[in-house]
Structure 1
């Protein structure tokens, strides 16, 4: 049994993905597979455990490209559609395994219950619908998963509070604009950091490239990978060659070993 943790980037794009429907932007027209980005999500595997952070509208396609035998749970960062709209596609896992564990802040769970009431229903369930086992996440309470104590890390996405997660030496943050000092401490000493870098110009609720670089330097991980990337960041290969040697752009289906 492999004791190493495998990180698979299921998607590295922003809310519309790349290419954007109907766009004539040069990045959207690129033939480079690394410039084609599904909505942001990551698969974390160790021993015989598989956990996904976020379950966006491309989840089915991502699971077909990166097949796994079972899904042990989904951790949600927040309730926006590009991070949650694929939850119905957990059905094949549910049919094989039963209720799928989901982990999220109570506010996020409330949003999911309103939008996907048939998944969260306690009675009169439609027989073809998936079901979940709900776990509330709080910033000061670790989550025991597969022998790990996963640490929630709170950040601000404009005015919305979002969660990142630390799995051992791996920290995953997305849709971040600001992180308080106490939460920053939870990331220190990590081997790998993942953080959003939306574009070159400033944005009201996401780090741009300059802010992401500054954040990466402050955290000081051995390796940093940028995700939640829009076409306005530029061509993958051109941006990548101008980054510091320990900082990289993630791309769909990239795998890391930790």
Structure 2
């Protein structure tokens, strides 16, 4: 029997979140809760397994909102601050663990995390209550519980960046790419294995390191997925207005939205 599966959008915002500090725009002052966007991250539950993708600066708020009490592994997409700087909040998930917490990342991303939080990786980190990381370098597909996880290399600024394809027997396969400007041709065949694609769509206007709405829609169509979700959204996109212009099968993601399989 296939394990129960659930994906939760912990955050769907860009690096500064929405509302933006000091911004007078109507989206930042919107009363629609779907326009309140913390930094992008997802949580996956597969049976009893609890997986976090990225540990952004809003992790504490996100975990409290979703009553997240256990994390069995963390997977990192890349080393940018809005995806790693909530690292210290992971200690709450280490207090009741006897084993170190597995952290999966590329060699470049892991080196950045170790440089930023060197104390956690030190041999002198012997105190209970501190984060005890178990670094796992991503070099290809790997498995966590019932989930088969395939890295999806993409182009995003100068950072070594991955999306991920999550596959589990009996459930829709989901590709998650929160930060991307271009999907290389060699990655497209992997995207075509997905039933659902969650992808970066920062704003309607072009951006040098993130996809625009039209660019994201083009990749969704090219991948031929059944459903698409737009994430990593800025304050230039109003949830209701953006939803109104999207094709059938594509939705605007929002904080707290769940996909169950």
Does the TM-score normalized on the shorter chain lie above 0.5?
yes
Q: CA RMSD in A?
A: 1.4
Aligned partners of 1:21, 1:238: CA distance in 2, in Å?
A: 22
Which residue matches 1:250?
A: 253
SS at match of 1:37: coil
Which residue matches 1:7?
A: 7
Aligned partners of 1:42, 1:67: CA distance in 2, in Å?
A: 14
Report if aligned partners of 2:46, 2:146 keep a CA contact under 8 Å in 1: no
Which residue matches 2:191?
A: 187
Segments of 4+ in structure 1 off by > 3 A? Answer: 124-128
Aligned partners of 1:128, 1:72: CA distance in 2, in Å?
A: 16
User: What is the aligned counterpart of 1:240 among 230, 240, 243?
Assistant: 243
Aligned partners of 1:137, 1:60: CA distance in 2, in Å?
A: 26
Aligned partners of 1:159, 1:102: CA distance in 2, in Å?
A: 22
Which residue matches 2:105?
A: 104
Aligned partners of 2:224, 2:144: CA distance in 1, in Å?
A: 26
Which residue matches 1:77?
A: 77
**Cα shift at 1:215:** 0.8
Q: Does residue 149 of structure 2 align to residue 146 of structure 1?
A: no
**Cα shift at 1:79:** 0.6
Which residue matches 2:121?
A: 120
**Cα shift at 1:184:** 1.1
Report if aligned partners of 1:142, 1:149 keep a CA contact under 8 Å in 2: yes
Aligned partners of 2:259, 2:62: CA distance in 1, in Å?
A: 17
Report if aligned partners of 1:2, 1:46 keep a CA contact under 8 Å in 2: no
Aligned partners of 1:80, 1:242: CA distance in 2, in Å?
A: 31
Which residue matches 2:178?
A: 174
Q: TM-score, normalised by structure 1?
A: 0.95
**Cα shift at 1:55:** 0.6
Q: Does residue 210 of structure 2 align to residue 203 of structure 1?
A: no
Report if aligned partners of 1:118, 1:125 keep a CA contact under 8 Å in 2: no
**Cα shift at 1:149:** 2.1
SS at match of 1:95: coil
SS at match of 2:186: helix
Aligned positions of 1:18-37 closer than 5 A: 18-37=18-37
Aligned positions of 1:32-71 closer than 5 A: 32-71=32-71
Aligned partners of 2:114, 2:93: CA distance in 1, in Å?
A: 20
Which residue matches 1:221?
A: 225
Aligned partners of 2:248, 2:32: CA distance in 1, in Å?
A: 22
Q: Give the paired residue count.
A: 255
Report if aligned partners of 2:106, 2:160 keep a CA contact under 8 Å in 1: no
Report if aligned partners of 2:19, 2:27 keep a CA contact under 8 Å in 1: yes
Could you tell which deviates more after superposition, 52-61 or 66-75? Answer: 66-75
User: Residue by residue, what CA displacement relative to the aligned partner does 1:116-149 show, whole Å, maximum 9, x if unpaired?
Assistant: 11111122545542111110002xx211110322
SS at match of 2:161: strand
